[in-house]
Structure 1
């Protein structure tokens, strides 16, 4: 009887199966690292910390947040991709996971092969804002002004960010020409819009919500499929007459490739249970987020779909990072 190499490998692994099953059943029995690809204090770090304490209570182990900023979360993503798939290294991942393949000429990992998608926690819509002293009261006001003044400036938090993608799509949908002004992060971009130095910006609501609530920024439209609970009177871009694809950044749990299904299901069920708690929902919405709770199958399908969309926009707008 002839056996293939794969069959021999499967037979050799049989003695290990009880030990692997026992290890999964015992998970977690030591602290878990949660890598974050951005500095402390920002929206991504907040997404990690909002679940840190509740998950520690459910798991009976410390959930240690480890900030590894740099290169649009590529540094943290590479570290996760190279970690053992044992459930003790997780990634608080953002939608950079699907924009990076569209704009980087080379990545130190394979986005589709090197990760286990677990759950999308929440998203934060990209919003078109203007300053309090600007005359714009609607998206159509912005479009009309841009047609009168081709090249009107539009700030974003940087090249290849959700705001940059939204700006490029908005220009094509509205038939206008804007001058993209990328900043090193959201705070300086927003401050220049507040101060009237730049008339508009596409920015994530989570980064701008405090200024908007204080009346220092005026939200004109939400670049997402539905309105934000934080500003229910602000229309979506489609409702405003200029539909663009959803560019909402999202925050998720991801693991290395090969993460055992039992651990994936445990994390998913525990996070989804927390996302049904009114106090967690309130904290997320207060920060400008929209609860998602999308599980592994839907999340896995989302990734190649978003990569394709982002690649199309990046090529049309010549967005790239060396």
Structure 2
């Protein structure tokens, strides 16, 4: 009897040791799903696919990208939050994650408790653009025009986007009144700015870089702490006398809460290593991005800080989505 009990205990210990070993060193031993909360072809999808092939090579397993668009990425986020914390379901998250709790009355997960922040891949600066036929060459030109014409229109890709937050902060910092004109996505907003129907827009560089390079949009200020390599001659908002918080969207890997530390460490090491490769850096910068590589400790601290800032701004500017 004792021998049988000892054998059972020994077998249980072996199974536990095997499970721990899998968490430490054998991950992944099957395909990994990467959920993306937006449609294929956009900036978020690009952030997933730029690392797909090199990570598959490093991991020896397929990295399967699943696009689950809708509800400001909350559909994909909820699926990840409810998945097993085994490293086989990951989330290509964006900074929308920290805006949603500030503007939606109900979010189907706890943004802080239900996820494991892993690593930020890159960010894309929010930039103040105007049309090529507009007279504005800098921020002060826009401020002067807005003071002459209170309520001047400012387009964005939608309510509670990085462009919307930047617009609200710009108004308060500059002491001007703008009329926010939200569109259903960046494409139509940028088209109307190019055509002169709306004079200005705050837009992510990744969504507008091709048009700006073609001269169809004029970048006049970077709403980020530093200039962008894509347009090094365009000064920041701060350099032009206006201090606003950085609203640059970021793109990251996250997992469900409770992800084992060895898996976190593996993903961070592999992603940070890839972000040092010149070919990957070049592709990110050509798309309008800025390489980040921020690891889990700093990333985890960023999330509640951004939620608090976004919540206060949403309250002040009366930004909400039912």
**2:3 matched residue in structure 1:** none
- Counterpart in 1 of 2:232? 232
Question: How is 1:42-121 mapped onto 2 (pairs within 5 angstroms)?
Answer: 42-121=42-121
The whole-number CA distance in structure 1 between the counterparts of 2:236 and 2:71 is 31
Give distance in 1, aligned partners of 2:13 and 2:150.
68
Query: How far apart, in 2, do the equivalents of 1:86 and 1:290 lie?
Result: 30
Partner of 2:152: 152
1:319 equivalent in structure 2: 319
Report the Cα distance in structure 1 between the residues aligned to 2:18 and 2:80, rounded to whole angstroms.
Answer: 24
Q: Structure 2: which 5+ residue stretches go unaligned?
A: 1-11
Q: Does 1:20 align with 2:25?
A: no
* 1:177-192 correspondence to structure 2 within 5 Å: 177-192=177-192
* Equivalent residue, structure 1, for 2:123: 123
Matches within 5 A, 1:252-263: 252-263=252-263
Structure-1 residue corresponding to 2:5: none
Shift of 1:192: 0.3
Three-state SS of the structure 1 residue aligned to 2:110 is coil
Which residue of 2 is the match for residue 205 of structure 1? 205
Cα distance between partner residues in 1 of 2:254 and 2:314? 24
Whole-Å separation in 1 of the counterparts to 2:284 and 2:28: 26
User: 2:193 maps to what in 1?
Assistant: 193
Residue aligning to 1:309: 309
Who is 1:214 aligned against? 214
The two structures have a TM-score, normalised by structure 1, of 0.95
SS at match of 1:23: helix
Residue deviations 1:22-49 (CA, integer Å, cap 9, x gap): 2212100000000000000000000000
1:150-191 Cα offsets, whole Å, 9 max, x none, are 000000000000000000000000000000000000000000
Cα distance in 1, alignment partners of residues 313 and 304 from structure 2 = 14
CA displacement at 1:217 relative to structure 2: 0.3
Q: Secondary structure at the match of 1:198?
A: coil
C-alpha RMSD over aligned residues: 1.0
Q: Which whole-Å deviations, capped at 9, do the CAs of 1:122-153 have from their partners, x for residues lacking one?
A: 00000000000000001000000000000000
Displacement, 1:19? 2.9
Inter-partner Cα distance in structure 2 for 1:92 and 1:237: 29
| Aligned equivalent of 1:4 | none
Match of 1:284, SS state, is: helix
Question: Do the aligned partners of residues 21 and 138 (structure 1) sit closer, same or farther apart at CA in structure 2, a change above 3 Å counting?
Answer: same
Shift of 1:16: 5.9
How many residue pairs end up in the alignment?
310
- Give the SS at the match of 1:118: strand
- Counterpart of 1:113 in 2: which secondary structure? coil
Q: Following the alignment from structure 1 to structure 2, what is the Cα–Cα distance between the partners of residues 206 and 133? A: 22
Structure 2 length-normalised TM: 0.95
Q: Distance in 1 between matches of 2:19 and 2:84?
A: 13
**Structure 1: any 5+ residue segments left out of the alignment?**
1-12
